[in-house]
Amino acid sequence: MSPPQPRVVPVSRTRDRSSSVSAGSTLRDGFAVLGVAIRREPWIFTVSTLGSLLFGALTVADAWVLGWSTDHVVLPAFETGEVGWGGLVAVLALFLGVAILRAVGIVARRLGAGVMQYRMQAHYRRDVTRQYLRLPMSWHQKHPTGQLLSNANADVEAAWAPIAPLPMAVGTVAMMVIAVLQMLLTDLVMALVGLLVFPAVILANLVFQRLQSPLMTRAQALRAEVSEVAHESFDGAQVVKTLGREQEETERFARKAHQLRDTNIKAGHVRAFFDPALEALPNLGVLAVLAVGVQRVLHGQADPGDVVTIGYLLTIVAFPIRSLGWLLGEFPRSVVGFRRVSAVLAATGEMQYGAAAPERGRPGALLEVDDLAYRYDDGPPLLEGVTFDAEPGRTVAVVGATASGKSTLTSLLVRLVDPRDGAVRLDGTDLRALAPGALAAHVALVPQQAFLFDDTVRGNVALGADVPDEDVWAALRTAQADGFVAALPDGLDTRLGERGTSLSGGQRQRLSLARALVRRPRLLIMDDATSAVDPEVEARILAALRGTPGQEGSTVLVVAYRKATIALADQVVYLRDGRVADQGTHAELLDRSPGYAHLVNAYEVEHPDEQAEVSR
């Protein structure tokens, strides 16, 4: 379960109105984000804060030890000309004890802050990843892959960056309170002079937040855009190289990278002015205290030890001021990152599931498509009124021209998306009524583009499942891939390289088919999944999928173009402009549907060598 979310501005608004983000809203939302972390990891935060409090208290104790040493050891030594060993031992013991306890506090503070930060990043990376898995393909199609990678990586890191200085800031606030009280008790006048730096520090932080917030908003958006361009370039490397567009892609990436660089430089300029100012203000306060303190000592209104104590305490107060500055300085980037992550976690459109689960009563499944309709958002209809059945164990070929809705149909049949109207039923059960994971246990899709991982043959076929080698080889034989796999240097243990670059297109398609077959699906859907395989091998694959004589095999739905492939199907569904124009056997459609005959014969005319090979 995701943690409670603070009130944050949606990411769309931060993009559109980044220049209107106020310092007040950034501070408020920044503390709200930290509240989420504290509620989720209260014990780690408590341990790290206690360590920081111990560090702060012992740092203030240093001032007391310094003042006590000045009045009881240093000044008497000047007066008598002798240093007592007892006093030296006492001073050393006090400083050593304070230093050891302060080191314990530092370890607890830093360790707790680091663990808390990395745990929150891990929590939210898992939450974002689970949300990606829950959201339908229609949502993913609207969000570039590079942006999704940025949400799960750079934005999550930015959201929880303030956790690192958080315990220190909390502890040093306590240290500052103790130090201020001790200053007031030591000498009221010098304390008030030194504390004049606080209004100046607050004003500097407000100005910094106002200038930095819009720059951080723009920088986080540009990080996502740079990631998008890089991902597209890497994914389309073959297109870029073959068309000679390397220079154009380099320039496209460079433009975004330079925009990100320039924005970060502007943010760096703002921070470059802020950090020295934050460092200088407390030092100016110390100088003012020394000037006033000297006059008070000369007039007998204060002791030298009081001046030393207050001057040192003011330098101690400078450290909390700097630590708060570090914390507040992370707020603009943190708030922007959290808004972007929250937009993902708040996205709607998750698929609804039921509790039904089809039974494995027979090898083949009954597929019923009833008045199916689909369109993307407000676009034109891609499918309208599609109705047909696929009987158990039979092979159905879906044929149609380009953009007739074939690939959209396959996405609906495996429920990558849900229809706008109509229904898809498996063994009489609407796919939307099935329990999560139930459909994948009975149906497998072999997509048009075969994707292989940088893994072994076994890893690509099994995909992490505990599958015996004999089952892997059986799937490879059915997919007509056992021959070339056996010839590989290490057989099933041969690594295939990124996207299977060491294999041909047909070999990749056959391994992709074996990946589906090893799960023994009752319904196998192939979206032109054998286009890179020669017709003879394709015919053997389809024959193996039909099962042996007298034994029913899987139900197969294949998107096909070749007449040889279509002729092997028991039934043909002819799609035209997103509708079922006709259905029947291949021979029947050739006789009564001129559009169908023209379509399948056109492929034969364009690929005479393949058809001649089939006829031989």
Q: Name the more confident of 21 and 391.
A: 391
Whether the pLDDT of residue 476 is over 60: the answer is: yes
* pLDDT at 34 (0 to 100): 83
Q: Residue ranges of the domains in the chain?
A: 11-345, 453-520
Radius of gyration (C-alpha) of the chain in whole angstroms: 36
Highest mean pLDDT among 248-252, 316-320, 377-381: 248-252
Q: Name the more confident of 40 and 77.
A: 40
Mean residue pLDDT of the chain comes to 77
Q: Among 107-121, 129-143, 400-414, which stretch is predicted with the lowest mean pLDDT?
A: 129-143
* pLDDT at 615 (0 to 100): 36
> Using 50, 70 and 90 to split pLDDT, how confident is the model at 449?
confident
Whether the pLDDT of residue 401 is over 80: the answer is: yes
Whether the pLDDT of residue 481 is over 70: the answer is: yes
* pLDDT at 567 (0 to 100): 79
* pLDDT at 614 (0 to 100): 38
Whether the pLDDT of residue 405 is over 70: the answer is: yes
Q: Name the more confident of 416 and 242.
A: 416
d(CA 610, CA 534): 8
| Beta strands at 421-426 and 367-374: parallel, antiparallel or unpaired | antiparallel
Q: Name the more confident of 354 and 549.
A: 354
Contacts of 254 (CB under 8 A, 6+ apart): none
The secondary structure of the chain in percent helix, strand, coil, rounded to multiples of 5, reads 65, 10, 25
Whether the pLDDT of residue 6 is over 60: the answer is: no
Whether the pLDDT of residue 16 is over 60: the answer is: no
Q: Name the more confident of 215 and 297.
A: 215
* pLDDT at 566 (0 to 100): 83
* pLDDT at 22 (0 to 100): 47
Q: Name the more confident of 261 and 243.
A: 261
Residue 381's Cβ-count burial label (10 Å; 0-12, 13-18, 19+) is middle
Q: Quick one: average pLDDT of 193-213?
A: 72
> Using 50, 70 and 90 to split pLDDT, how confident is the model at 3?
very low
Q: Quick one: average pLDDT of 5-33?
A: 52
* pLDDT at 164 (0 to 100): 78
> Using 50, 70 and 90 to split pLDDT, how confident is the model at 612?
very low
Question: How many other CB atoms are there within 10 angstroms of residue 139's CB atom?
Answer: 17
Whether the pLDDT of residue 374 is over 70: the answer is: yes
Q: What percent of the chain has pLDDT over 70?
A: 80
Judge contact between 438 and 356, C-beta under 8 A: yes
Highest mean pLDDT among 84-88, 163-167, 238-242: 163-167
> Using 50, 70 and 90 to split pLDDT, how confident is the model at 603?
low
Contacts of 131 (CB under 8 A, 6+ apart): 344, 345, 347
Sheet strand arrangement including 523-527: 443-446, 523-527, 555-559, 395-400, 571-576, 579-584
pTM more than 0.75: no
* pLDDT at 87 (0 to 100): 63
Q: What percent of the chain has pLDDT over 90?
A: 0
Nearest to residue 333, comparing CAs of 79, 111, 158, 586? Answer: 158
Per-residue pLDDT tens for 141-192? 777 777 787 788 878 888 888 887 777 777 767 767 777 777 777 777 777 7
* pLDDT at 84 (0 to 100): 65
* pLDDT at 147 (0 to 100): 77
Q: Among 354-363, 418-427, 429-438, which stretch is predicted with the lowest mean pLDDT?
A: 354-363
* pLDDT at 607 (0 to 100): 53
Question: How many other CB atoms are there within 10 angstroms of residue 107's CB atom?
Answer: 11
Q: Name the more confident of 51 and 9.
A: 51
Half-sphere exposure of 188 (CA within 13 A, CB side): 0
> Using 50, 70 and 90 to split pLDDT, how confident is the model at 7?
very low
d(CA 361, CA 138): 33
Q: Among 20-34, 259-273, 287-301, 403-417, which stretch is predicted with the lowest mean pLDDT?
A: 20-34
Q: Quick one: average pLDDT of 540-561?
A: 71
Structure tokens at 270: 């703002």
* pLDDT at 19 (0 to 100): 37
Q: Name the more confident of 11 and 262.
A: 262
Contacts of 68 (CB under 8 A, 6+ apart): 94, 305
Highest mean pLDDT among 41-55, 204-218, 236-250, 309-323: 41-55
Q: Quick one: average pLDDT of 89-106?
A: 76
Per-residue pLDDT tens for 487-524? 888 888 888 777 777 778 778 888 888 888 888 888 88
Whether the pLDDT of residue 568 is over 50: the answer is: yes
**Which amino acid would we find at residue 259?**
Q
Whether the pLDDT of residue 83 is over 50: the answer is: yes
d(CA 48, CA 115): 9
Per-residue pLDDT tens for 17-28? 333 344 457 777
- Residues 11-345: name the CATH superfamily: ABC transporter type 1, transmembrane domain (1.20.1560.10)
